Structure 1
Amino acid sequence: MEHAFKVDLRGIIDLLSNHLYSDPSVFVRELLQNGVDAITARRALGEDFEPAITARLHLQEGELPGLEFHDNGVGLSEAEVHEFLATIGRSSKRISEARDTFLGQFGIGLLSCFMVSGEIELVTRSAAGGPPVRWLAQADGTYTLEVLPDTPDTGVGTTVRLRAREDTDFYFEYDQLRDALAGYGALLPYPVHVLDGTQYAHVNAVLPPWLAYATGSQSPAERDEVLSYVRSEMRLEALDVVPIHSEAGGVRGVALILPYSTQASGHQWHQVYLKRMLLGNDVRNLLPDWAFFVRCLLNVDALHPTASRESFYEDDALTAARAAIDTQLREYVEGLATRDPARLDALIALHHLPIKALALENDPFFRLIAHAFEFETSTGRLKLGAYLAQPGPIRMVTNLDQFRQIAQVASAYGHSVVNAVYTYDAPLLRKYSALTGRELEEVDAQSYALALEDVTTGGLDSFVERADAALAGLECRVSVKRFEPADLPALLIVTEEQRQLEDIGAAREVADDLFAEFLDDYEAEYASARVARLHLNLNHALVQDLLHLQDDAVFARLIQMLYVQAHLLGHHPMRGQELALLSEGLGDMMRWGLRATHLGHLN
């Protein structure tokens, strides 16, 4: 035995308002869409008429506001009202026609009016002939249908009447309605009017200049007009305008280059129109992921919207359109490299992350602009082209602590080391090495320390023993080296394993007994790397003086202060032990200074 589905209209309305549509104001879009489709259908019949859509507000003191929305499109007959308005999901457009000609295709748009009104009244007269009919629907799913007298003043078309609820009267204010109509219908080819008895606006009387720019000559004057428009009307500054077009999907519009840096996680809005009706301001799946430094204003004629009409189906047409936009944005950046290098530098300075991401994906693009990428090095910020002009391999460090240690001595040896800890830097350098064959060396502080000039230990053994004793309990050993710069008295080298041990020690201070046992086991894995190295520079006068210092207390304190100084210069985190040494050492030195001053006075 077969049974028919039963539809709970209240449940459908809840689905529309809470899950399908992002904002109740989309009822304005749905009414506009139905009006545009009706006019399009009537024009297809070959009739000669002046198309128009009018939204009229009725405001009476003591009553909730009402809205009358009229189009002079094709209208509906009595049979069509029964078939299309009383059947959930049935569209008055055949699917093939809907995809190619009309804006709508799902047959649920009129129900969105229930999000702002308790009932929907529709009066319509078909261009095919017959009397007008009145359809009155309630939110509980009931409706009545009445055939009206056939009078001469009842023209072809459809009028929808709504009465606001107490919680939705905001959407029936003149300014709110005008802005919604202008937002959704600014590009529509048919005039859209709004009035309330005292105020009137033709909301789409002037087309935004970006659409003309996208389809016109794209002259400098048109470009400036677009920039002026987005500045005044959209409160958006833009560095430049890039025309966008794709035969696939029928895409036309512009990409605005943002004047501030962005991140991949910081999604940008894109204002997208479908057949010149606003689809949404948050359409996310039309642009390539790397292009998060642009905002787009686009009109689309041949892509397929989802049921909410706020994004597009992922199909072959969308894939092809996205690929075309990808190519055009890439060609824009490539063009700057040859015709306007200064602008390319400014663009990369602001949007280095998305541009570097694209370069990693695209070898020809990488070869074209890689030399313009800027990196932090031990000799200052350098473009890759300037860095490569130096002899030797590309040297890079992928750990910030390691870079800070290396930077103190690398430049003195004529080495420029890249601090490749920032997003994409290390992959870009590896890619450059792979594509060009330029040697790439990933260095660390330990390897640099091994390269420092050894000093013959003869006669220095006792000195090193005294220095080690001064640092007892700090898990640090002393060696004597010669290195540049000569004004750097000491260099502290902490391996990554030693850094892990320090982190474990900090965690143990706040850990409970159970977690402390786990840390003990973890610490055992790094037991062989427990000792840091303090390299004293024999080229420095203070270190040479220390060789002859006999006062053990003063010697120990000076070694400790050199250790603390090297700690600070290397940007190593200060533990409680180092902070205590710093405080005690400064106190001793002040006392020594006061004592020397006092003795000087006595003499």
Structure 2
Amino acid sequence: MEHAFKVDLRGMIDLLSNHLYSDPSVFVRELLQNGVDAITARRAREGAFEPAILARLHRREGELPLLEFRDNGVGLTEAEVHEFLATIGRSSKRISEARDTFLGQFGIGLLSCFMVSGEIELVTRSAAGGPPVRWRAQADGTYTLEVLEDDGLDIGTTVRLRAREDTDFYFEYGELRDALANYGRILPFPIHVTDGEQYDHVNAVLPPWLAFAAGDEGRREEVLAYARAELNVEALDVIPLRGEEGGLLGVALVLPYATQRGSRQWHSVYLKRMLLGSDLSNLLPEWAFFVRCLLNVERLHPTASREAFYEDDALKAAREALGAQLRGYIEGLAARDPGRLEALIALHHLPIKALATEDDDFFRLLAHEFTFETSTGRMKLGEYAARFPVLRMVTNLDQFRQIAQVASAYGHSVINAVYTYDVPLLRKYASLFGRELEEVDAQTYALSLEDVAAGGLEDFTARANAALATLGCEVSVKRFEPAELPALLIVTNEQRLLGDIEAAREVADELFAEFLDDYAAEYELVRVARLHLNLNHPLVQDLLHVRDEAVFARLVQMLYVQAHLLGHHPMRSEELALLSGGLSDMMRWGLRAAHLGALN
């Protein structure tokens, strides 16, 4: 058995007027859209005429404000009022040839007025002939229709809305004027607003970005000034955007501040020069987060709320066209203005790197321009690859600081790849450009240090180890460059983790301390750090001949502390105590030597 759906009209109106739209002020947009549609239809029917849209506010003492919104468009006949205003979900076809994104001359859009008013009154006279009619609709889903006397009423439509007590804010003159300007700023038909005392032609002056986008390159500074004054954006640059796909015309403003991928976008997008919204996020490619756009489209299809676009082939083609133009801008910078490109990457490095890790074409475009910290200074990846046959990277900052001291002496440059996206970018670079990539650590370089013949050094090494016995550090003697570096301390990641565990252990409660002890036990076998003394350094050579055990031990300990500092290792209380004690001893020795010198 078949059954028919039952529709609660009151609930449908509540759903459409209070939940379809994100902001009650969109009723202004819908009234404007209705007027534009009507004017477009009349032009298609009659040819040229003088279009006009007027919003008039009426205020009387003791009454809530009344808005009259009039257009001199095509109007409606009595039959059309029944057909198009009383049937939710049916769109008018009479102007579909003129506007392929048409959602209905009234219908759903007009229902948005119930967000601010309890009643909608519409008086209309059709260009097709016949008497004028008055239509009154209530929020409960009922309406009345009255045929009026033919008293010379002009062709067109007037919508009357009386504010509710909770919505009279939207009927203030300044608020209404600003809403009309916001939605209708670039509409080709004049829009006027008045309250009897104040008057504005809200779209008398078109913004300069339209002319710039159409090819008037001399308006560039005006566009930047417009962005500064109207959008509070000190744009770094402005990019014209044009394309047949979707009928695109607009500009992209390059943001002066860093952005994150996935952050909220506020592209202002117009459909047939009517603002749809300022936070449309599905028109531009996901990676275009470093620009904000002012854009008009002619042939895309909005959703029912007209606050987004349908994900269809037309939208996909438009998105690809916009992406191609933004890529072209970056390619152009690489060719003609590398300084500006470098500044752009430096400012938006995280989002740009995020895109490059996922988009091979975009990566190839910018890969050589990415800047990395290396053991031989900051340099672009393209420069590094040209100078060094092997890409050597370190993925731990402490390890990099240790390696940086010795790598350059061996003709190597090591990349500090500890920051977000560095490792995947280097791996992609090696893969796409056929380069060798090697991940190194401090122990790798320690193994490459030149061993010194053990003969005659066993006693020296034993004495040095005794000096550091309480610090969990073993001493070896090596020869390495640079010769100016007396000692190199190698601390593995596991040893670093043990240090963190021990620090946490000191402040943990008994239960958590037991857990930390069990965790630390897994790394006990690797807890010993390595202090490599450089026999190429004169101080280490002199140390071989020191027989005073107290002086010898203190000098070894100070070399250990110095290596700690040069390697940027965190200083524990033990190292701080050694530093303080060592400085005190050396000052005493200096004073004693000065005193003895004075006696002599």
TM-score after normalising by structure 2: 0.90
After superposition, the Cα gap between the structure-2 partners of 1:472 and 1:98, relative to the gap in structure 1 and judged at 3 Å, is farther
Sequence identity (%): 77
The partner residue of 1:345 within 342, 347, 353 is 342
- Measured against aligned partners, the alpha-carbon deviations of 1:496-542 in whole angstroms (never above 9, x if no partner) come to 22223233333434444554444444434434322221222223333
Out of 221, 225, 228, the residue aligned to residue 228 of structure 1 is 225
Inter-CA distance 539–15: structure 2 relative to 1 (3 Å threshold): farther
Q: 1:78 corresponds to which residue?
A: 78
Give the aligned partner of residue 494 of structure 1: 491
**Higher mean C-alpha displacement, 292-301 vs 237-246:** 237-246
Check 1:536–1:267 CA distance in 2 against 1; reply closer, same or farther (3 A cut): farther
Whether the 8 Å contact between 1:213 and 1:226 is mirrored in structure 2 is yes
Shift of 1:273: 0.4
Does structure 1 conserve the Cα–Cα contact (< 8 Å) formed by 2:44 and 2:98?
Answer: no
Task: Show the 5 A alignment for 1:424-463.
Answer: 424-463=421-460
| Unaligned ranges ≥5, structure 1 | none
The residue aligned with 1:210 is: 209
Cα drift, residue 600 of structure 1: 6.7
1:271, CA displacement in angstroms?
Answer: 1.0
* Residues 481/251 of structure 1: CA separation in 2 closer, same or farther (3 Å cut): same
Query: Within 5 Å, which residues of 2 pair with 1:474-485?
Result: 474-485=471-482
Report SS of the residue matched to 1:45. Answer: helix
Q: What are the equivalent positions in structure 2 for 1:258-407 lying under 5 Å apart?
A: 258-357=255-354, 359-360=356-357, 366-367=363-364, 369-407=366-404
Code of the aligned partner of 1:24: P
Partner of 1:249: 246
CA distance in 2, matches of 1:179, 1:498: 64
Cα gap change, 1:14 to 1:532, in 2 (>3 Å)? farther
**In the superposition, relative to structure 1, how do residues 391 and 230 fare at CA in structure 2: closer, same or farther (>3 Å)?**
closer
Q: Quote how far apart the aligned CAs of 1:146 are.
A: 2.9
Is the Cα contact below 8 Å between 1:480 and 1:536 reproduced in 2?
Answer: yes
Shift of 1:376: 1.3
Moved more, 67-76 or 231-240: 231-240
Aligned to 1:172: 171
Would the aligned equivalents of 1:291 and 1:354 in 2 still touch at CA under 8 Å? no
Q: 2: distance between equivalents of 1:511 and 1:13?
A: 58
**Displacement, 1:490?**
2.0
Q: Determine if the alignment matches structure 1 residue 64 to structure 2 residue 64.
A: yes
The residue aligned with 2:6 is: 5
Deviations 1:66-119 (A, max 9, x none): 211111122223343333333443433489669715365893222222222233
Deviation, structure 1 residue 53: 0.9
Distance 2:561 2:9 in 1: 76
Letter in 2 for 1:477: E
The 8 Å contact of residues 29 and 183 in structure 2, kept in 1 or not, is answered as: yes
Specify the alignment match of 2:120 in structure 1: 120
Give the secondary-structure state (helix, strand or coil) at the position aligned to 2:488. strand
Q: Are 1:52 and 2:58 an aligned pair?
A: no
Going from structure 1 to structure 2, the CA distance change for 1:397 and 1:99 (only over 3 Å counts) comes to farther
Q: Secondary structure at the match of 1:307?
A: coil
Deviation at 1:270, TM superposition (A): 0.9
Q: Secondary structure at the match of 2:314?
A: helix
DSSP 3-state at the match of 1:112: helix
In 2, Cα distance between equivalents of 1:226 and 1:103: 32
**Matched letter for residue 407 of structure 1:** A
Q: Aligned in 2, Cα 1:501/1:20: closer, same or farther, shift over 3 Å? A: farther
What amino acid maps onto 2:461 in structure 1?
V
What SS does the corresponding residue of 2:46 show, helix, strand or coil?
coil
| Counterpart-to-counterpart distance in 2, 1:119 and 1:586 | 88
Flag the 1:514–1:308 CA change in 2: closer, same or farther, 3 A.
farther
Q: Please, what TM-score do these two structures have when normalized by structure 1?
A: 0.90
- Are the structure 2 counterparts of residues 469 and 63 from structure 1 closer, same or farther at C-alpha, using a change threshold of 3 Å? farther
- CA–CA separation in structure 2 for the residues paired with 1:511 and 1:106: 69
RMSD, matched Cα: 2.9
Map of 1:184 onto structure 2: 183
Quickly say closer, same or farther: Cα 1:3–1:334, change in 2 above 3 A: closer
Cα distance in 1 for partners of 2:362, 2:48 equals: 53
Could you tell me how far 1:493 is from its partner in structure 2?
1.1
Q: Which residue matches 1:130?
A: 130
SS in 1 for 2:485: coil
**1:184 Cα deviation after fit:** 0.7
Query: CA–CA distance in 1 between the matches of 2:144 and 2:467?
Result: 98
Query: Which has the higher mean CA deviation after the structures are superposed, 475-484 or 547-556?
Result: 547-556
C-alpha displacement of 1:193: 0.9
How far did residue 599 of structure 1 move? 6.6
Secondary structure of the residue that 1:261 maps to in structure 2?
coil
Opposite residue 185 of structure 1, the aligned amino acid is G
Aligned length: 599
Residue type of the alignment partner of 1:462? D
Instruction: Describe the SS at the equivalent of 2:460.
Output: helix
The 3-state SS of whatever aligns with 2:169 is helix
Is the Cα contact below 8 Å between 1:40 and 1:73 reproduced in 2?
Answer: yes
CA distance in 2, matches of 1:418, 1:46: 71
Amino acid at match of 1:412: A
Which string of whole-angstrom CA distances, capped at 9 and with x for unpartnered residues, describes residues 135-172 of structure 1?
Answer: 333334443333332211x1222211222233333222
Higher deviation after alignment, 77-86 or 253-262:
77-86
Distance 2:424 2:5 in 1: 60
Distance in 2 (alpha carbons) for counterparts of 1:121 and 1:192 = 21
- Structure 1 49/386 Cα, relative in aligned 2: closer, same or farther at 3 Å? closer
> C-alpha offsets along residues 553-601 of structure 1, whole Å, 9 cap, x if unaligned?
4433333333233222222233343344444444555555566667777
